[in-house]
Structure 1
């Protein structure tokens, strides 16, 4: 069950914490907690937005009227090393200090694997019992997970001439710690269908617009330096992708490619009750302390291939972007 929770959390926004002390950061005060959380979560939410925006097409050749296809699609988004850490400078914080006195050092993001970084929140008298000491949280890579997976079902239907509508969804799934689900819709229009020589042309060219929405939450309620209840992170993501697609039109094996642009925004709410039990902020109570907004955008290019066997099809593709992605799909349908 723990492994299932980790992968569902990855689907959410990379919030499958491999450490239990993420909430200890509230011992540094509400402002420091928010400053840290913004840098800690940002690569995970950005990576998740790029990941859920993939897999919209496997050809530029759209389906005829009432032609349809059902696809089961999986994505794997590798995490680059530069997204696993960030430089924490104590000058940017009001109370947080490294226990070894360092002015700055690399610490883990929610996708990283840096462990054992101890920080201290000093009380009125440095080195007194009023100090709070704890380790900063590591991330998913510390548990051996170096990628963000997503998976969903997608349906495509040919409507008016040269136009195909698409819907995608991942059914709402709940475990003790994680809740996640998403949906999306898109439209693809083939420009070459309007040309007189369309039937004999060896390639198809089309354009696509796709929208995806994700809702997810991760419950990390824990006791220690920070007590409380119902401690969780809830996130909503909205992404848009715009693609120009070209593909071959061969009987069995085809190749396709695209260039495009993705833009997205996430809203992450840190919710619940947080009661500080150690350090200078002892007895401080924070309820639903803050929200974090993140944006992601960037150009993308995709190369892929598709194998057609009657009504059964297989496709695989690789997307080059800020977060590269490998996508594979199994489809069933009739033209």
Structure 2
């Protein structure tokens, strides 16, 4: 069960963020900490928005009035081969205080998705006339260093047929709480089948529809104080909102059907670094309260292809999405009509 909880929390990059003691970066000063944290967290936020936006449909045909389906859906947004999402260039010219321990001025370092370890940095400054203080620490690695190369999401989804050609959908992940973290998800969507409006729609071998879906995720992670940073109530609060707009086409066969879609994703995440942080070592010993907030957008065209197997009340589906983060979605479905 602990492994399942771990995977769910990596959706928002919260677990790896806390484990890596990234709050130590505040020892470099508030501006440097905000710049680094933004570059470090941005890719995992973007990937998570792609992951939670999958799974809105498994057929182009809308359910008839009273027809329903309940699904358990899991998604995996892959980043194994995405070097541009796993690393970023840290140029000390852009920072006020942060320096590489080996004297480099520019170096590729890990994002929250990456696996570059052992990058040592330091800050130095005068704390009294003629007296300098220096603090050394290691930059955090990311999920790939833990042999995790995908961002997962999972939820329960229900669909019900309303008036002709229209299907209402809702998804939900009840709030999961552990000692250090909490995460929850909900969303609502609608699918409308255009082929139902054609005079001889039953004669057409395909169904064509449009899907709009909205998903909201929120998560928190309380992380432990380090030797460098003391304080109270230190936590990350992350919120994500995504929209998808998709055109879908599928076959209309009794047992197995194939479907595909083309559309657009728009999303935004907000990450608040909350609590009190007291830098108690190094040249910049200050106390920060709720130091900063980070925003990340995700936008782009997406296309997918999949198949659905229907065996009476029981159904299975799987599809693969091509986007900025390619992803796999699988679902176990129970339905009527």
Query: TM-score, normalising length from structure 2?
Result: 0.96
Using a 3 Å threshold, how does the CA distance of structure 1 residues 5 and 116 change in structure 2: closer, same or farther? Answer: farther
- Measured after TM superposition, the shift of residue 2 of structure 1 is 5.9
Give 2:316's aligned residue: 314
Give 1:48's aligned residue: 48
Give 1:29's aligned residue: 29
Mapping of residues 35-74 of structure 1, within 5 Å: 35-74=35-74
Mapping of residues 208-219 of structure 1, within 5 Å: 208-219=211-222
- Separation in structure 2 between the aligned mates of residue 222 and residue 228 of structure 1, nearest angstrom: 7
Give 1:294's aligned residue: 296
Aligned residue for 1:132, secondary structure, equals strand
- Measured after TM superposition, the shift of residue 176 of structure 1 is 1.4
Give 1:137's aligned residue: 140
Asked whether 1:109 is paired with 2:108, we answer no
- Separation in structure 1 between the aligned mates of residue 278 and residue 248 of structure 2, nearest angstrom: 53
- Separation in structure 1 between the aligned mates of residue 4 and residue 68 of structure 2, nearest angstrom: 32
- Measured after TM superposition, the shift of residue 21 of structure 1 is 2.1
Give 1:238's aligned residue: 241
- Measured after TM superposition, the shift of residue 129 of structure 1 is 6.4
Asked whether 1:16 is paired with 2:19, we answer no
Asked whether 1:172 is paired with 2:175, we answer yes
- Measured after TM superposition, the shift of residue 128 of structure 1 is 7.2
CA contact 1:63–1:163 (8 Å) conserved in 2: yes
Using a 3 Å threshold, how does the CA distance of structure 1 residues 258 and 153 change in structure 2: closer, same or farther? Answer: same
Give 1:187's aligned residue: 190
Stretches of structure 2 that go unaligned for 5 or more consecutive residues are none
- Measured after TM superposition, the shift of residue 5 of structure 1 is 4.7
- Choose which of 220, 224, 237 in structure 1 pairs with 2:223: 220
Give 1:88's aligned residue: 90
Give 1:78's aligned residue: 78
- Separation in structure 1 between the aligned mates of residue 107 and residue 183 of structure 2, nearest angstrom: 34
Aligned residues: 332
- Separation in structure 1 between the aligned mates of residue 30 and residue 9 of structure 2, nearest angstrom: 25
- Measured after TM superposition, the shift of residue 320 of structure 1 is 0.1
Query: TM-score, normalising length from structure 1?
Result: 0.96
- Separation in structure 1 between the aligned mates of residue 25 and residue 137 of structure 2, nearest angstrom: 8
Aligned residue for 1:122, secondary structure, equals strand
- Separation in structure 1 between the aligned mates of residue 2 and residue 169 of structure 2, nearest angstrom: 34
- Separation in structure 2 between the aligned mates of residue 9 and residue 49 of structure 1, nearest angstrom: 13
- Choose which of 241, 245, 268 in structure 2 pairs with 1:265: 268
